[in-house]
Amino acid sequence: MFNLTTFRELVVAALWTGLLAGLLLTAVQQIQVIPTLLKAEVYEEAAVVPNAENSHEHHDWQPENGWERTFFTAVANISLGVGFALLIGSVMCLRDRPDNWRKGLLWGLAGYLTFFVAPSLGLPPEVPGTEAAKLADRQSWWLITVLDTGFGLSLLAFALTRTNKFFGVVLLAAPHLISAPQPEVHSSVAPAELVQSFIIAAVFANAVFWLAIGGLMGQFYKKDL
Amino acid sequence: MSSTPVLLDNAQTQARSEVLKDKILPAMLAGMLGLSLLYAAGFAETAQLHNAAHDGRHSASFPCH
């Protein structure tokens, strides 16, 4: 069998990290992310033309605006937080557990670049009601970019030879050279300022989220000295 | 003399299986748990999950809709 103590330490650290980072993100989102989303939704609903693809969403259950919606967003944020913390923790476990929370911040920064910055360069954060390419294509590009960036960054940070580090840089650039799937016509029912404001809000909120994940994992999952 | 390489081999095999038990397996298991959570919260297309996690997905910039 495998070492249950190692596994438990990692999972407990990730649970606390995800809980705290998820709650922090939920609070930060209230500043600009959520207000911008809600404003964009007003435009989306005003512009809605019943069509086969979108109509199912409006009949299925969805949380009521207000506390219920905030609660489910918090649950989603915490799940994402725990998921990301488990991933980053498993790489820490394989590579080297951090000495302290400051080392953890570096891991958080790597996570931010991998899971948010790199995919957002091709597929910027979007408010509802934005025209986009086919979902499956965007999901594939997102996944390839994340894998590629993660691998590229680890080569850049840990590879011992220059050739391998250079290969890391090539990997970092590759998905952006292929370029992300784009819709035939870019358009959004929300005005351009809302689209911009949402991007800025998401850049900030995700930076806080990831630094919290990294720092907290650095604290809760640090090396036994 | 001839037994030295064999001993070394045994020691290496044992060290390798320790690494497997102490690091690789726990890390892989935790990683898979993490991926399942991320899939459910970020990508699953079930309407209820999508609607519950809607704002979180937009905020994280996951491809949504």
Is B23's CB within 8 Å of A77's CB? no
**Of the candidate ranges A201-205, B10-14, B21-25, the one whose mean pLDDT is the lowest:** B10-14
In whole angstroms, give the CA distance from residue A167 to residue A165: 5
* pLDDT at res. A2: 84
Residue A21 has pLDDT above 90, yes or no: yes
C-alpha–C-alpha distance, residues A25 and A211, integer Å: 11
Q: Which residue of B has its CA nearest to A180?
A: B63
Percent of chain A having pLDDT more than 70? 95
Torsion B36-B38-B43-B47 (CA) sign: positive
Distance separating alpha carbons of residues B45 and A120, to the nearest angstrom: 21
Q: What is the pTM of this model?
A: 0.92
Res. A92: pLDDT tops 80: yes
Q: Residue A207's closest CA among A141, A139, A108? A: A108
**By C-alpha distance, which of A187, A182, A20 is closest to A101?**
A20
Residue spans per domain, chain B: 3-60
CB atoms under 10 Å from CB of A164, counted, come to 12
| Chain B nearest C-alpha distance from A77 (Å) | 6
- Paired strand residues for A188: A130
Q: pLDDT tens for residues A42-84?
A: 999 888 766 555 555 557 899 999 999 999 999 999 999 999 9
pLDDT value for A133: 92
Phi, psi of A130 (to 5 degrees): -100, 140
Mean pLDDT for chain B overall: 88
B27 has a pLDDT exceeding 90: yes
Tokens for A179, please give them: 């370029």
B25, B41, B64 ranked by CB distance to A83: nearest:
B41
Which residue type, as a one-letter code, is found at position A45? E
Proportion of chain B above pLDDT 90, given as a percent:
62
What is the C-alpha to C-alpha distance for residues A6 and A4, in angstroms, rounded to an integer?
6
- Cβ partners under 8 Å of residue A31, min gap 6: A201, A205
Best mutation target among B61, B62, B64, B65 (most A Cβ atoms within 10 Å) is: B61
Question: Which structure tokens are listed for A174?
Answer: 């590759």
Cβ atoms A41, A128 nearer than 8 A:
yes
DSSP type of residue A188: B
- What ipTM was assigned to the predicted interfaces of this complex? 0.90
CB contacts < 8 A, A to B, total 155
- Which amino acid is present at A30? Q
Which residue, chain included where needed, has tokens 């970020």? B42
Chain B residues close to A220, C-beta within 8 Å: none
